[in-house]
């Protein structure tokens, strides 16, 4: 975020290498801040997971990014241009699937795409048929091109929505909960489509309330909770930020706690496992001694070790800690 143009009077300029950048993005509805001071940085070429429980402000943020709603405060740059001021230049380069496109159920998938393409004044009519065919092919719907949309499954409709977003080449694709309501097969199809689009160089910004989905598709993620961004970075960075802890099984919990404290850790109260052995769990700070040094120190302090383990925090532990809510980790 530091490689930007010099700050101008209107605030910082867009940083190079970012598909989406926001500073202090805020959207208020009445007295509620649905989006509250959000600073987003979506690297070009990333698959960016925008994760958060229902109602945390994801759709509102996306609507502001796409110029469908105005921000109460803050700056937004999409593909390096300030929004909504440059929407006319930027939006033709952005494909979006937000709240599902409206298709005519009595028209075929192909006819629906023709109709939607006609409405795009930037789309040349001479190449329409070829572009519609290519988009259907891209999402694996060529075989159903002539089928009426009312006979499509939800997954097929969702893929048709993505095909619509792909009718003209896009640098950025914004998908709001693209697998919502899909069965496992439909979910897998959409996921693999997202991966193949990203492999072709498109930046994909995808919102989800499913942690597992973000872990499987995304290179980067941001986590929203009650309108605020509570974590942001590559998946590897987010995983690293989760603290490891040690778990000690011992009949001497008081001595174990004293020694762990002396080593700079914060042990919990300890739980009685079987009336004889207790489990003492302590968070490991960044500068904690190596696990073998901790174990050796415990033994020197005459703590009888019946078990010793270092456990990494899972991404799920971390997100639950950040949002105070459990994520639905179902497929
Ligand atoms: N047009 C609106 N008027 C008033 N409040 C709104 C409006 N749109 C959204 N909100 C409120 O803003 C908050 C954030 O909603 P938003 O739809 O952005 O969340 P979300 O994370 O996308 O959740 P979901 O996955 O359920 O759509 C919610 O409390 C919602 O009720």
List ligand 1's pocket residues with C-beta within 6 A.
29, 34, 52, 54-60, 209
- What's this model's pTM, rounded to 2 decimal places? 0.77
Q: Which atom of ligand 1 is nearest to the CA of 27?
A: 12
Which residue is closest in CA terms to ligand 1's atom 16?
57
Q: Which of 147-151, 187-191, 223-227 is the least confident region?
A: 187-191
- Over residues 129-148, the mean pLDDT reads 92
- Beta-carbon contacts of residue 291 (< 8 Å; ≥ 6 apart): 246, 308, 310
Distance separating alpha carbons of residues 13 and 80, to the nearest angstrom: 9
Residue 149 CA, ligand 1 centroid: distance in Å: 29
Distance separating alpha carbons of residues 141 and 147, to the nearest angstrom: 10
CB 95 within 8 A of CB 172: yes
Out of 174-183, 234-243, 268-277, 288-297, the most confident range is 288-297
Q: Is the pLDDT of residue 162 over 50?
A: yes
For the chain, domains (ranges, CATH) are 18-239 (3.40.50.300), 243-312 (3.30.70.260)
Distance separating alpha carbons of residues 36 and 126, to the nearest angstrom: 45
Instruction: Give backbone dihedrals phi and psi of 25, rounded to 5 degrees, phi first.
Output: -65, 125
Q: Is the pLDDT of residue 90 over 50?
A: yes
Distance separating alpha carbons of residues 156 and 144, to the nearest angstrom: 9
Which ipTM value was assigned to this complex? Answer: 0.94
Q: Is the pLDDT of residue 232 over 60?
A: yes
Which residue is closest in CA terms to ligand 1's atom 29?
55
Residue 60 CA, ligand 1 centroid: distance in Å: 6
The residue length of the chain stands at 331
Cis check: omega of the bond before 84, within 30 degrees of 0: yes
Which residue is closest in CA terms to ligand 1's atom 13?
34
HEC states along 189-224?
HHHHHHHHHHHCCCEEEEEECCHHHHHHHCCEEEEE
Q: Residue 12 corresponds to which tokens in the numbers above?
A: 């910082």
Q: Which atom of ligand 1 is nearest to the CA of 227?
A: 14
Assign 107 a pLDDT band (cuts: 50, 70, 90): very high
Residue 144, sorted as left (phi over 0), alpha (psi -120 to 50) or beta, turns out to be alpha
Distance separating alpha carbons of residues 87 and 76, to the nearest angstrom: 11
CB 256 within 8 A of CB 263: no
Q: Residue 61 corresponds to which tokens in the numbers above?
A: 């943020």
CB 48 within 8 A of CB 68: no
Nearest to 107 by CA among 123, 121, 118: 118
Distance separating alpha carbons of residues 172 and 54, to the nearest angstrom: 24
CB 67 within 8 A of CB 31: no
The confidence score (pLDDT) of residue 1 equals 35
Distance separating alpha carbons of residues 217 and 177, to the nearest angstrom: 13
Residue listed under structure tokens 């490991």 = 284
Q: Residue 121 corresponds to which tokens in the numbers above?
A: 């004044």
Residue 99 CA, ligand 1 centroid: distance in Å: 12
């Amino acid at each position: 975020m530091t490689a930007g143009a010099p700050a101008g009077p209107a605030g910082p300029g867009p940083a190079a290498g970012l598909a989406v950048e926001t500073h202090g993005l805020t959207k208020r509805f009445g007295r509620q801040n649905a989006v509250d001071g959000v600073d987003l940085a979506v690297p070009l070429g990333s698959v960016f997971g925008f994760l958060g429980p229902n109602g945390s402000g994801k759709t509102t943020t996306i609507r502001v990014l796409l110029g469908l709603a105005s921000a109460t405060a803050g700056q937004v740059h999409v593909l390096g241009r300030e929004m909504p001021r440059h929407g006319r230049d930027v939006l033709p380069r952005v494909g979006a699937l937000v709240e599902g496109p409206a298709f005519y159920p009595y028209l075929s998938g192909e006819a629906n795409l023709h109709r939607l393409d006609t409405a795009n004044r930037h789309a040349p009519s001479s190449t329409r048929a070829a572009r519609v065919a290519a988009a259907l092919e891209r999402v694996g719907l060529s075989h159903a091109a002539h089928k009426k949309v009312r006979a499509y499954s939800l997954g097929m409709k969702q893929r048709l929505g993505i095909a619509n977003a792909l009718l003209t080449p896009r640098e950025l694709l914004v998908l709001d909960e693209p697998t919502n309501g899909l069965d496992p097969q439909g979910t897998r199809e959409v996921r693999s489509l997202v991966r193949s689009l990203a492999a072709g160089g498109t930046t994909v910004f995808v919102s989800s309330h499913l942690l597992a989905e973000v872990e499987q598709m995304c290179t980067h993620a941001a986590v929203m909770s009650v309108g605020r961004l509570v974590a942001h970075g590559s998946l590897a960075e987010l995983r690293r930020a989760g603290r490891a802890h040690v778990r000690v099984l011992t009949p001497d919990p008081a001595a174990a706690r004293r020694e762990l404290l002396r080593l700079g850790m914060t042990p919990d109260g300890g739980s009685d496992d079987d009336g004889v052995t207790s489990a003492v769990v302590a968070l490991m700070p960044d500068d904690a001694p190596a696990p073998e040094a901790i174990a050796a120190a415990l033994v020197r302090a005459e703590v009888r070790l019946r078990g010793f383990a270092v456990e990494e925090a899972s991404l799920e532990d971390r997100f639950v800690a950040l949002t105070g809510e459990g994520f639905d980790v179902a497929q």
